[in-house]
Amino acid sequence: MSTGAAVILTIASLVPLSIGTVSLAFGAQKGYIGIRYLTGTHPDTTPAPESPDSVSSGHTAVTGTVSPGPNETVTAPLSGTDAVAYRLRIEQRVDSGSWMTVAEYDESVPFSLEGSVDRLLVEPSETSPTIEVTRTDTVGPDDSLPADVRTRFEESERIDLTASPDVLASRSDEHRRYREAVLEPDETAYVYGNCVETTDDSAAHTGRARIDGADSSTFRFGTQRAIEEATDHALSGPVMTVALFVQGGVAVLFGLFFLGAGAFVLSDAIEFATAWIWTWGWVVP
């Protein structure tokens, strides 16, 4: 009787122990994702764009019309558009049906920003632009990029086809998606950074003020709509983190409860088995 009870209790303990283990793993996963959200998003407290009567020194937000700077423009590799900044993302379809980023490139040159009163020079440095996608091309596994696009890819200083040959659609067995965003002359742009007055001859024709990304503790530039969307996404990070931590915490408590129940049942099984062994004299006191 004791042997049968021990076996039954041992089997019965496996159910809560399994549920508890799965719950703990689920809770740990939620916590890990929550940490990723917390470390991967950085809320931006950049003030809303303003239209001041004059651009003052210090960190400031400015909106205005884009015009080419001293280095003129760059050529966006996908569309061939003359732009002051572009961003290119290359994605590949995976088995789940979603798109995985395989490469990202961006490039920008100094440009002029003409506001309501002042005209200033913006030097983006190595900061990536925050702009909306303006063109998306999807290429099948048996297709190649158009000849003109391929030529621009090969001539681009930012895209190294030798180091990253998988950038070309013809090198992949899956669908590829090329998403490009450009900031062109005559568009309205938003810039936030450290504004300083300058008498440098190189900047004389662009106005008396300059915003340099390298000299700014916080620097952003792009289109206002894209920056607002990016900021909203960043601000949702802490909220999502809290939600994930709560889910993970509930799962962990749930798991600990079932692990405790399973351990209690298993201890009874061990007690029955020990009593049976002692009864039959397998263990000498």
pLDDT in tens, 163-208: 666 676 555 677 888 999 999 999 888 888 888 776 555 544 445 6
* Cβ atoms of 163 and 86 closer than 8 Å: no
Could you give the CA distance from residue 39 to residue 101 in angstroms, rounded to a whole number? Answer: 20
Beta-carbon contacts of 83 under 8 Å, excluding residues fewer than 6 positions away, are 73, 74, 75, 76, 182, 183, 184, 185
Exposed e or buried b per residue across 117-153, where buried means at least 16 C-beta atoms within 10 angstroms of its C-beta: ebbbbbbbeebbbbbeebeeeebeeeeebeeebbebb
Question: What pTM does this model have?
Answer: 0.58
Residue whose C-alpha is closest to residue 87's, from 124, 44, 146, 132: 132
Q: How far from 37 is each of 34, 227, 231, 271, CA to CA, in Å?
A: 5, 19, 14, 47
Say which amino acid occupies 95.
D
Q: In whole angstroms, what is the distance from residue 183 CA to residue 68 CA?
A: 11
Max intra-chain CA distance, the chain: 102
Query: Residue for token digits 């931006």?
Result: 44
How many CA atoms, within 13 angstroms, populate the side-chain half-sphere of residue 237? 16
Tell me which residues of the chain have a pLDDT lower than 70: 1-7, 9, 33-57, 116-118, 142, 163-166, 168-172, 198-208, 224-241, 244, 272-273, 275-285
pLDDT of residue 46: 42
User: Hey, is 222 helix, strand or coil?
Assistant: strand
Q: Do 131 and 88 contact (CB within 8 A), yes or no?
A: no
Tokens at residue 256, please? Answer: 């600990």
Question: C-alpha distances in angstroms, 142 versus 89, 94, 98, 139, 175?
Answer: 20, 16, 19, 8, 9
Of 180, 173, 172, 137, the C-alpha closest to 156 is 180
Q: What are phi and psi of 37, to 5 degrees?
A: -60, -40
Q: What are phi and psi of 106, to 5 degrees?
A: -150, 155
Euclidean distance between CA atoms 67 and 114, whole angstroms: 8
- The DSSP H or E segment spanning 256 is helix 224-279
pLDDT of residue 76: 92
pLDDT at 171: 55
What pLDDT, on the 0 to 100 scale, is given for residue 229? 54
pLDDT of residue 4: 65
From residue 3, give the alpha-carbon distance in Å to each of 6, 269, 277. Answer: 5, 9, 9
Q: What is the predicted pLDDT for the residue at 115?
A: 73
Q: How far is CA 61 from the centre of its chain?
A: 24
